[in-house]
């Protein structure tokens, strides 16, 4: 007996909810034979703006969550992802990966989450310093999240790439607004479902699907975004982002790498990229 | 209760005779050329500009104006020197930098006098703060040169190449030290441009660098104004730009370097909040306010230019502050008793005076103690603006002068919100005797440097730099190495 | 009236030292230096407080007080001489005809460890002998144990016995541990009736320091603002050179100002300072660096 499949509707993920784009627009993802895989939301600049608002609102509380708590939440994401492994493998295959590559990518993504979960209460120790100043002051430098971060994720390795750039940003207390791989967006939205059932507070990670060319300028120019991460090699995009980032002296982080499976793609230095150094002085003589 | 609103109630009666620092042993040439490729070189176009003593308007010397051709020469020299310098062992590199530190210490008094002559800052500050800190900075980073693998565990730090550095006029030698020391320690070669109103100590530093025997081309110092700076920023063979200056120019540089592979660090403007709680040590807080805003005539990017006083002690603090301001001595920068020297340039004085006008027009209540200014030169009295609010321009914009905007607050949340309500994020100060309140505030304030129960302290080991529009990257300390290395 | 000790200002040495450094970097030259040195000389309480003091020693000191250095014209005498009660009579007689005050330590100096009536009769004896000023010590043990009322009452009782004599209250700051305690003890002394507050006996190290004196000047300032009453200040011990004395005067000048810049409101408790000031004054006049051999010890 054949049974009609229930097709999944892919929506945006903003503030812990799954709204459709306010614009009502969509774009199609097709198989190599041209048949429809899914209709994706074509997010608008207003969707992006709304996402920034919720990301800003969520940032303080997320930054103030204990390091242990953030670590456990990242670990929880890994757990849920592990439980839905098959779904992600299937989606990656639909998007054109081989079964072997898909399996490898999902497993690497899970491991990467576990890796960063473990850093949550260690990277501050690694990057902090007590500075031996000459005057009678106690002086120390610690890291603080830069704030709200726009992320344009890698076009390829749509799950692993996404996880590899989101995890170091959020483990460091930032909230993010993410633009998924334009050509392979399915796993990004499924990953949002994982996030949503993993105790990640609404607004910490917001995921949009849509057109890069359309959204990049807004992601780079928004005055309430503190940093922008761009994965890719498009020289025009790099230039445009840098130029617009100067509006509010936004930090720019560019990743030109193409293989996110490599072990060099995980280190505390990725966390540091979306951190500020704060130095505090206080007298020591009574 | 003896109520007396007279700020002169404790007026000093003993006036100190002039105590000018001797300038007899100071050597200043009539003309200074560019330092390129280990030689003092005349500018290709032969143009020179005057450097002026801001305390009397007199010309001190001719300074070469570097054209884009001169900058190109300097960059080429730096490029040529890079391979050898980067290949030198860290130990040897470090020794040159140690030498520079020592040579500055040996000639400290000369540097201090020239800094005050050329820039207008009180000799007490150039002698006790600028020059020793500059020497310490070289000493600190010299020691890093052969230990870089410990600064970046699990990585292999490499120098960037040729670094273009553009520095401001408020701490001329110190900013040169902040820029040069970490760049050299990490194996980069440098083209540095001092600000056009304060070139002299950088050129004196060039003499010292020359004496240190450092290989030619490793450090090149080119003088000039904005155009010279732009030539450095836009030069295609520069790998990194490090800039300290206004946020406006910083944004321009960020834009100009877009799409190039130049790395960038920016140390820009600020509008630091200085917060006084009712449980603070009030007298020490008053002293902190004075340090925060009147240090170096307020020409300090991290100045505490927004004062927030808790309402229950506002009258008391303001009364004490006014009285303290009466004892500040404004005048000859070379006099050892001067607390506030000359405004760095006519242009800056105009800017400050304009802001004072704006403050008055916006309805702020101005207070200035009586000051006797010398007849010549650029002077501005220490100034308070009372009864202002977040929406006043003098509260929002960086004035870069001895002008303090005073606001009051009632609750902790309120003051945190107001303090963070600015595009800047360089510095902040908190005054309270309650430990948990200090930590609460220092965590909540969005700024790169937070002073608890103190203000405007600097040290070679202490990272300095801003959040938000105050720039990115750190200078000083372990964190100050990172902007000058790359990882393969 | 017992002071409210709950809301006193607090201090940290990092901040106070920084402030003090600003006074110390003032450069005092030429006529302002001469004026400062003369002022310092006029503020000295020339002191001898030794077990081996004798009538002869005290008489020599008194002569020195009246004739600091006869070859220098237009210089003031010191403000007072300061001795143990047993030599008040001797000093009073030796200083006859001069304006120099006789100050006496009292109240079981220097430790203050005795019964109140012993302290009061000690004071009364000195006053009866003709002392113009009484330098009492507070009970530091009671203070540190938190018995502030006890300390207050003792000072008030001594003040009563002093009658017309001015009362200087020695806090012995070297035993008070913190700047907050110095401030607290200053408040108690001023409210209990002190005319002067004084840092030290000279028998305990550290004696007077600029940070401690700064805190006491700050207390005097606030007391004046609250009550309108001017209290004097006397740092004592360790101020042995003109340079240090001028730094104290700069601090006085910039903290309390004009009204306090005289010996009615400021004294130096010192034994060797006078000669150093005199050497500097002679140097200023002649341009030649001086030797102590040309200045009489007593």
pLDDT of residue B137: 98
Instruction: Show residues of chain B in contact with A131, CB under 8 Å.
Output: 459, 461-463, 477-478
- Percent over 90 (pLDDT), chain C: 96
Residue-range domain boundaries for chain C: 13-294
- All domains of chain B in start order, with CATH: 31-268+467-487 (3.40.605.10), 273-452 (3.40.309.10)
Residues A72-96: what's their mean pLDDT? 97
- Contact partners of B by the rule of 3+ C-beta pairs under 8 A? A, C
pLDDT of residue A1: 65
Cα–chain-centroid distance for residue B446?
20
3-state secondary structure of B422: coil
Pick from B79-83, C104-108, C269-273: least confident: C269-273
**Hey, are the CB atoms on B454 and A279 less than 8 Å from each other?**
no
Task: Count other Cβ atoms within 10 Å, centred on residue A164.
Answer: 27
Cβ atoms of C291 and C268 closer than 8 Å? no
Q: What is the pLDDT of residues B19-68, one digit of tens each?
A: 999 999 899 999 999 999 999 999 999 999 999 999 999 999 999 999 99
Pick from A1-5, A88-92, A190-194, C119-123: least confident: A1-5
The C-alpha of C16 sits at a distance from chain A's nearest C-alpha, in angstroms, of: 10
- Percent over 70 (pLDDT), chain A: 100
If we measure between CA atoms, which residue out of A154, A174, A181 comes closest to residue A165? A154
The C-alpha of B261 sits at a distance from chain A's nearest C-alpha, in angstroms, of: 10
Measured between alpha carbons, how far is C68 from B261 in angstroms, rounded to an integer?
78
Chain A, nearest residue to B439 by Cα? A280
**Hey, are the CB atoms on C12 and A135 less than 8 Å from each other?**
no
Cα–chain-centroid distance for residue A150?
8
Q: Alpha helix (H) ranges present in C105-147?
A: 116-128, 140-144
Q: How many domains does chain A have?
A: 1
User: How would you list the strands of the sheet with A175-179, edge to edge?
Assistant: A205-208, A175-179, A148-152, A227-231, A251-255
Q: What is the pLDDT of residues A46-75, one digit of tens each?
A: 999 999 999 999 999 999 999 999 999 999
pLDDT of residue B58: 97
pLDDT of residue B6: 67
Q: Could you identify the residue written with the tokens 């000669």?
A: C275
Instruction: Show residues of chain C in contact with B288, CB under 8 Å.
Output: 15
- If interface means Cβ-Cβ distance under 8 Å, which residues of chain B face chain C? 1-2, 4, 9-19, 124, 128, 281-284, 287-288, 327, 335-337, 433, 453-454
If we measure between CA atoms, which residue out of C35, C122, C115, C119 comes closest to residue C74? C35
Q: Could you identify the residue written with the tokens 């034994």?
A: C271
CA distances (Å), origin B487, targets A165, A252, B152, B158, C200: 19, 17, 10, 6, 62
What is the predicted ipTM? 0.96
A210 is a domain residue: yes
Q: Which domain holds residue A181?
A: 26-283
User: In the predicted model, is pLDDT for residue B1 greater than 50?
Assistant: no
Which are the catalytic amino acids of C?
135, 198, 234
Q: What is the pLDDT of residues B329-380, one digit of tens each?
A: 999 999 999 999 999 999 999 999 999 999 999 999 999 999 989 999 999 9
Instruction: Show residues of chain C in contact with B282, CB under 8 Å.
Output: 9
Measured between alpha carbons, how far is B402 from A188 in angstroms, rounded to an integer?
53
The C-alpha of A131 sits at a distance from chain C's nearest C-alpha, in angstroms, of: 17
**Hey, are the CB atoms on B254 and A246 less than 8 Å from each other?**
yes
**Looking at the complex, does the CB of residue A139 fall below 8 Å from at least one CB of chain B?**
yes
Cβ atoms of B235 and B75 closer than 8 Å? yes
pLDDT of residue B4: 45
Residues B426-433: what's their mean pLDDT? 98
Instruction: Show residues of chain A in contact with B450, CB under 8 Å.
Output: 278-281
3-state secondary structure of B58: coil
User: In the predicted model, is pLDDT for residue B3 greater than 60?
Assistant: no
Strand C232-234 to C196-198 pairing: parallel
Written as six digits, the tokens of B221 are 């110092």
User: In the predicted model, is pLDDT for residue B423 greater than 90?
Assistant: yes
- CATH number, domain of A237, equals 3.40.605.10
pLDDT of residue B477: 98
Length of chain A: 286
Q: What is the pLDDT of residues B288-314, one digit of tens each?
A: 999 999 999 999 999 999 999 999 999
User: In the predicted model, is pLDDT for residue C43 greater than 80?
Assistant: yes
Task: Count other Cβ atoms within 10 Å, centred on residue B28.
Answer: 17
A53 is a domain residue: yes
H helix or E strand, kind and range, residue C64? helix C55-66
Residue A186 phi/psi, 5° resolution? Answer: -60, -50
Cβ atoms of B307 and B325 closer than 8 Å? no
pLDDT of residue C47: 95
The C-alpha of A130 sits at a distance from chain B's nearest C-alpha, in angstroms, of: 9
User: In the predicted model, is pLDDT for residue C173 greater than 90?
Assistant: yes
3-state secondary structure of B271: coil
pLDDT of residue B430: 98
User: In the predicted model, is pLDDT for residue C251 greater than 60?
Assistant: yes
Cβ atoms of B264 and B254 closer than 8 Å? yes
With b for 16 or more beta-carbon neighbours within 10 A and e for fewer, the A121-159 pattern comes to bebbeebebebebebebebebbbbbbbbbbbbbbbbbbb
User: In the predicted model, is pLDDT for residue B2 greater than 80?
Assistant: no
| CATH architecture of the domain with residue range C13-294 | Alpha-Beta Barrel (3.20)
Instruction: Show residues of chain B in contact with A240, CB under 8 Å.
Output: 258
Measured between alpha carbons, how far is B11 from A37 in angstroms, rounded to an integer?
84
For an interface test with C, the pick among B14, B312, B431 (most C C-beta atoms closer than 10 Å) comes out as B14
Instruction: Show residues of chain B in contact with A235, CB under 8 Å.
Output: 259
Strand A129-130 to A36-41 pairing: unpaired
**Hey, are the CB atoms on A283 and C178 less than 8 Å from each other?**
no
Q: What is the pLDDT of residues B228-270, one digit of tens each?
A: 999 999 999 999 999 999 999 999 999 999 999 999 999 999 9
For an interface test with C, the pick among B17, B277, B317, B329 (most C C-beta atoms closer than 10 Å) comes out as B17
Cβ atoms of A27 and A40 closer than 8 Å? yes
Q: Give the model's confidence band at C5: pLDDT under 50 very low, under 70 low, under 90 confident, else very high.
A: very high
pLDDT of residue A32: 81
**Looking at the complex, does the CB of residue A5 fall below 8 Å from at least one CB of chain B?**
no
């Amino acid at each position: 007996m054949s049974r009609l499949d229930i097709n999944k509707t892919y929506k945006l993920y903003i503030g812990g909810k799954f709204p459709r784009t306010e614009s009502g627009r969509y774009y199609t993802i097709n198989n190599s034979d041209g048949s429809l895989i899914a209709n994706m939301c074509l997010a608008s600049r207003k969707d992006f703006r709304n996402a920034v608002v919720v990301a800003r609102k969520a940032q303080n509380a997320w930054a103030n969550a204990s390091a242990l708590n953030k670590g456990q939440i990242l670990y929880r994401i890994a757990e849920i992802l592990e439980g839905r492994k098959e779904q992600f493998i299937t989606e990656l295959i639909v998007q054109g990966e081989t079964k072997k590559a898909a399996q490898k990518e999902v497993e690497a993504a899970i491991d990467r989450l576990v890796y960063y979960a473990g850093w949550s209460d260690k990277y501050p120790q690694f990057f902090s310093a007590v500075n031996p100043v000459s005057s009678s002051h106690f002086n120390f430098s610690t890291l603080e999240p830069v704030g709200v971060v726009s992320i344009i994720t890698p076009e390829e390795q749509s799950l692993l790439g996404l996880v590899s750039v989101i995890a170091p940003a959020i483990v460091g207390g930032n909230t993010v607004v993410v633009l998924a791989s334009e050509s392979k967006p399915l796993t990004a939205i499924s990953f949002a479902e994982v996030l949503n059932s993993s105790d990640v507070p609404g607004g910490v990670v917001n995921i949009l699907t849509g057109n890069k060319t359309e959204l990049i300028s807004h992601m780079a120019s928004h005055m309430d975004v503190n940093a922008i991460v761009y994965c890719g090699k498009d020289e025009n995009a790099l230039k445009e982002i840098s130029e617009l980032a100067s509006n509010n002296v936004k930090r720019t982080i560019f990743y030109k790498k193409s293989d996110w499976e490599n072990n060099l793609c995980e280190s505390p230095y990725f966390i540091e990229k979306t951190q500020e150094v704060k130095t505090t002085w206080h007298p020591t003589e009574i | 209760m003896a109520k007396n609103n007279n700020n002169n109630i404790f007026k000093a009666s003993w006036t100190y005779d002039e105590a000018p620092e001797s300038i007899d042993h100071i050597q200043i040439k009539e003309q200074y050329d560019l330092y390129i490729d280990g030689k003092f070189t005349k500018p290709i176009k032969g143009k020179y500009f005057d450097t002026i003593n801001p305390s009397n308007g007199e010309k001190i010397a001719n300074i070469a104006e570097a054209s884009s051709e001169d900058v190109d020469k300097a960059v080429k020299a730096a490029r040529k020197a890079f391979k050898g310098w980067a290949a030198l062992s860290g130990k040897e590199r470090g020794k040159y930098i140690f030498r520079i530190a020592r040579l500055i210490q040996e000639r400290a008094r000369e540097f201090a006098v020239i800094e005050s002559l050329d820039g207008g800052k009180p000799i007490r500050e150039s002698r006790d703060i600028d020059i020793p800190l500059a020497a310490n900075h070289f000493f600190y980073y010299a020691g890093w040169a052969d230990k870089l693998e410990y600064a970046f565990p699990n990585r292999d730090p490499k120098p960037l190449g040729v670094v273009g550095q553009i520095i401001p006029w408020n701490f001329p030698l110190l900013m040169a030290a902040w820029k040069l020391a970490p760049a050299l320690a990490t194996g980069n070669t440098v083209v540095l441009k001092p600000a056009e109103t304060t070139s002299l100590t950088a050129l004196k530093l060039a003499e010292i660098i020359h004496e240190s025997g450092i290989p030619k081309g490793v450090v090149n110092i080119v003088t000039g104004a904005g155009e010279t700076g732009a030539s450095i920023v836009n030069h295609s063979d520069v790998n990194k730009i490090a800039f300290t200056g206004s946020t406006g120019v910083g944004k321009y540089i960020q834009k100009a370097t877009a799409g190039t592979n130049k790395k960038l660090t920016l140390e820009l403007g600020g509008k630091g909040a200085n917060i006084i709680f009712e449980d603070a040590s009030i007298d020490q807080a008053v002293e902190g306010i004075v340090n925060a805003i009147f240090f170096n005539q307020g020409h300090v990017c991290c100045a505490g230019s927004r004062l927030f006083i808790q309402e229950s002690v506002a009258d008391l603090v303001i009364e004490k502050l006014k009285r303290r301001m009466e004892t500040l001595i404004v005048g000859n920068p070379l006099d050892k008793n001067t607390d506030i020297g000359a405004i760095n340039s006519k242009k800056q004085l105009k800017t400050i005076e304009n802001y004072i006008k704006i403050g008055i027009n916006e309805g702020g209540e101005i207070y200035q103690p009586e000051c006797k200014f010398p007849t010549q030169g650029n002077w501005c009295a220490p100034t308070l603006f009372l009864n202002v609010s977040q929406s006043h321009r003098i509260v929002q914009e960086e004035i870069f002068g001895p002008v303090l905007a005073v606001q009051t607050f009632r609750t902790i949340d309120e003051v945190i919100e107001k303090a963070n309500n600015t595009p800047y994020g360089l510095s902040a100060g908190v005054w309270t005797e309650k430990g948990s309140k200090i930590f609460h505030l220092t965590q909540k304030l969005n700024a790169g440097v937070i002073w608890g129960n103190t203000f405007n302290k600097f040290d070679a080991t202490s990272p300095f730099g801003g959040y938000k529009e105050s720039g990115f990257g750190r200078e000083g300390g372990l964190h100050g190495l990172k902007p000058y290395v790359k990882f393969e | 009236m017992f002071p409210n000790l709950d809301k006193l200002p607090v201090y940290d040495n990092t901040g106070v030292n920084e402030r003090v450094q600003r006074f110390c970097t003032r450069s005092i030259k030429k006529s302002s230096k001469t004026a400062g040195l003369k002022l310092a000389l006029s503020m000295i309480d020339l002191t001898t407080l030794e077990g081996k003091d004798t009538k002869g020693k005290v008489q020599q000191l008194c002569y020195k007080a009246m004739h600091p250095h006869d070859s220098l014209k237009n210089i003031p005498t010191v403000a007072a001489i300061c001795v143990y009660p047993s030599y008040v009579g001797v000093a009073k007689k030796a200083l006859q005809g001069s304006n120099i005050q006789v100050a006496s330590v009292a109240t079981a100096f220097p430790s203050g460890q005795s019964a109140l009536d012993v302290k009061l009769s000690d004071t009364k004896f000195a006053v009866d002998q003709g002392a113009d000023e009484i330098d009492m010590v507070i009970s530091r043990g009671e203070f540190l144990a938190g018995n502030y009322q006890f300390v207050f009452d003792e000072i008030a009782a001594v003040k009563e016995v002093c009658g017309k004599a001015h009362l200087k209250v020695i806090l012995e700051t070297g035993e008070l541990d913190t700047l907050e305690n110095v401030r607290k003890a200053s408040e108690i002394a001023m409210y209990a009736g002190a005319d002067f507050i004084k840092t030290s006996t000279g028998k305990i190290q550290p004696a007077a320091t600029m940070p401690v004196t700064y805190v006491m000047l700050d207390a005097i300032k606030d007391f004046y603002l609250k009550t309108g009453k001017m209290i004097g200040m006397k740092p004592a011990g360790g101020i042995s050179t003109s340079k240090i004395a001028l730094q104290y005067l700069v601090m006085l000048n910039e903290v309390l100002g004009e009204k306090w810049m005289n010996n009615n409101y400021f004294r130096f408790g010192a034994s060797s300072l006078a000669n150093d000031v005199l050497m500097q004054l002679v140097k200023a006049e002649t341009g030649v660096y001086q030797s102590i051999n040309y200045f009489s010890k007593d």
